[in-house]
Structure 1
């Protein structure tokens, strides 16, 4: 229907509700590794709240949930001994998280417990793959579960042998919605997502087939420096369709920053479509989107077909 534009989607929070999968994996991983390193610390679960997870993410540099685990583990193990003090300590760290991501957390903790920080960093050996970092391995074992972990990594799990938390993913988008969007863009649909292709196919099921193979990049499968808000993946996907006009559908600060960077460093005209549910946390992101000129903001992805034809005229 339109020969000039494509549309690229984020997955988590846009096409899939991950609050009971990725968020739960963060909580389980942090609890397991804090206990593994220091069994004397109790009530770890109460410290890893959805609110604090969101606080890290809204900095725009914690799109990788293993980074978020790393920040929590360092903060808990290097912080004050009293649990009541520790929660506010972690909150202050989330408020000081910057575009430097995990480095900003490490720098913040240097003045509190330099030797302890160095010791824990050595134990976690992060960033690293499943063979070099216990953090990466434990996270992926919880998320993928034994069967999918083996399929994805060609490796035997060591720490977790129960049901995969990826099973808790909930598909948000309807098949009919994707069909309408596909018709609007003559099948020029792509993905730029922090998850792996394995995880995307597993949770998106038949919806996965709407997306062009060459117009999709799964950042977990790429080098770390390709992660959001680096715009390289987005630019590559858009160019694969042979167009210079695009929409990116996202729900987070790093999605906004990625789109802004893509505009600055390329000759591509890309507009963000913001997904913001009606709740207090999403309202913070909505304000960020509004303050940065995001012209299209919807509550959920199934609203898109009704508004896309109205905004396509800008191209």
Structure 2
């Protein structure tokens, strides 16, 4: 009997390219709160995220501000940054300033998969859903408005603790699992160390299931072979079973191949 699979996708860097949106908003925010003294490069942001605990981009922005100012001789206790002000500024760039409509960087995110790819999984009997640190509004914008999906299974920022806590992954699985007696293999697809750590922690908490982490290289790290290879190695070290250059390479045949080798 072929064991069934449930595939759960992260969104940012997997479903949509956020190098010119979320990551640009991080850089804008850090630059603003350091009075234009420091604008983090994409590599700076990747290095922070490689620590595996900065999945939330608001918190990542704040941490980069803290680290820069601490490097200038100021202590965190002295600084007392206003987290709400950081979030509001970030959102003004990413979401835009119109409270009723998205007008910011989110409007220009290239899609990294098509709805036809998800239909291919459905036809192969593979259940799928999404677990993301993005806000529900942002996630639904790409899933429903851009991809045209009808009420997909989604656990978003508001629904669970941030990664690498696997609570949200468990909740997504629970929604997708039709027959609780049948222990499907769980494949989680992500582009960061935190995503892979989430799979590792899920395995520790629930070792009776098979949990597989699949890494996807976000577009911004594929500009040079050196950067691509280094990023891929980082994901493998963090627990990825395999690293792909695009999510659509994870087709039904590849999923079976990965399951058989796990």
Fold shared, TM-score > 0.5 on shorter chain: yes
SS at match of 2:113: coil
In the other structure, the counterpart of 2:186 is 246
Q: Secondary structure, in 3 states, of the residue corresponding to 2:186?
A: strand
Please give the TM-score of this superposition, normalised by the length of structure 2: 0.84
Report the CA distance shift for 1:311/1:211 in structure 2 as closer, same or farther (over 3 A): farther
1:222-261 equivalence runs, <5 A: 222=159, 226-240=161-175, 241=177, 242=180, 244=183, 245-261=185-201
Q: Name the structure 1 match of 2:11.
A: 11
Question: How has the CA–CA distance of structure 1 residues 14 and 198 changed in structure 2, closer, same or farther, with 3 Å as cutoff?
Answer: same
1:61 alignment partner in structure 2: 53
For structure 2, which runs of at least 5 residues remain unmatched after alignment?
none
Alpha-carbon shift at residue 13 of structure 1 (Å):
0.8
Tell whether 2:228 aligns with 1:296. Answer: no
Mapping for residues 18-37 of structure 1, pairs under 5 Å: 18-35=18-35
What runs of 5+ residues in structure 1 fail to find an aligned partner?
Answer: 36-41, 81-111, 127-132, 153-162
CA gap 1:63/1:51 in 2 versus in 1, 3 angstroms? same
> Shift of the alpha carbon at 1:3?
6.9
Deviation by residue 1:47-72 (Cα, 9 ceiling, x = unmatched): 31111011101111111111121112
Separation (CA, whole Å) in 1 of partners of 2:141 and 2:227: 28
Q: SS at the partner of 1:63?
A: coil
Taking only aligned residues, the RMSD between alpha carbons, in angstroms, comes to 2.6
Which residue matches 1:106? none
Q: Give the match's secondary structure for 1:146.
A: coil
Q: Secondary structure at the match of 1:171?
A: coil
What is the match of residue 257 of structure 2? Answer: 310
Distance (Å, rounded) in 2 between the aligned partners of 1:182 and 1:257? 27
More helix by share: 1
2:124 is aligned to 184
Equivalent position SS for 1:7 = strand
User: 1:251 Cα deviation (Å)?
Assistant: 1.3
Closer/same/farther in 2, CA of residues 43 and 292 from structure 1, 3 Å limit: closer
Task: Give the corresponding residue for 2:141.
Answer: 202
TM-score w.r.t. length of structure 1: 0.71
Tell me the secondary structure at the aligned position of residue 188 of structure 2: strand
Asked if 1 retains the 8 angstrom alpha-carbon contact of 2:213 and 2:239, the reply is no
* SS of equivalent to 1:237: helix
Post-superposition Cα deviations, 1:17-37, rounded to whole Å, max 9, x if no partner, equal: 0000011111111222223xx
Moved more, 193-202 or 287-296: 287-296
Q: Is the 8 A contact 1:5 1:246 kept in 2?
A: yes
Aligned residues: 249
